[in-house]
Amino acid sequence: MPKRIIKRFMPDHEKIRDHKHLKILGPLLHDPNLLHLNRRSVSGAFAVGLFFAWVPVPFQMLLSAIAAIVVRVNLPISVVLVWITNPLTMPPMFYFAYKVGIWTLGRSPKNVNFELTMEWLTQSLGAIWQPFLLGCFLVGIASSVVGYIFVKYFWRMKVIQSWNARKEKRRSS
């Protein structure tokens, strides 16, 4: 059932391949795995998308798309999962990543008041960039591994459930 729901929202392979902005990728977009909905492709897309959701750069979707093409996993799912990081979720997510980085490095947290100015970026961010980036990397790896394993397990359970339902249906007929 989840596969049928996802398929409704999936773009057409020819439409993606012939898109004027994506033509620069050429034959890389001809790989059928980029739009397949199978256990390997979807779980890999979750791993890619969840990892790049934790990368603190403005072009996460592009990085996720490139990674999905390189590792040959579902492209739309990996790009959509990056949207977990949005203006509402970014502050708590990145604060958590900073705390993980501080804990990992064994440092004490710095009292930094956020301001969206160039002065703040050059002074305050310079003091916290190491634990922040380390935390983003570690949480990104952890969430991608958990997402990958969860999707693999969930997919397998749904297949087994479907097999058992068909077996039961055959017995009752």
How does pLDDT run across 120-173, given as a tens digit for each residue?
A: 667 777 778 889 899 999 999 999 999 999 999 999 999 899 899 998 888 887
For every residue of 114-155, DSSP letters joined together read ---SHHHHHHHHHHHHHHHHHHHHHHHHHHHHHHHHHHHHHH
- Which of the residue ranges 64-68, 74-78, 109-113 would you say has the lowest mean pLDDT? 109-113
The CA-atom distances, in angstroms, between 13 and each of 16, 28, 129 are: 5, 12, 40
Check: pTM over 0.85? Answer yes or no.
no
Per-residue confidence (pLDDT) for residue 115, from 0 to 100: 62
Q: Find out whether 56 and 132 touch, Cβ atoms under 8 Å.
A: yes
Please identify which residue in the block is written with the tokens 């004490």: 108
Question: Would the pLDDT of 1 be above 50?
Answer: no
Q: Which domain holds residue 96?
A: 2-172
Domains identified in the chain, total number: 1
Task: From 159, 165, 96, select the one nearest 131 (Cα to Cα).
Answer: 96
CA distance 140 to 54: 5
Question: Would the pLDDT of 80 be above 50?
Answer: yes
Confidence label for 38 from pLDDT (cuts 50, 70 and 90): confident
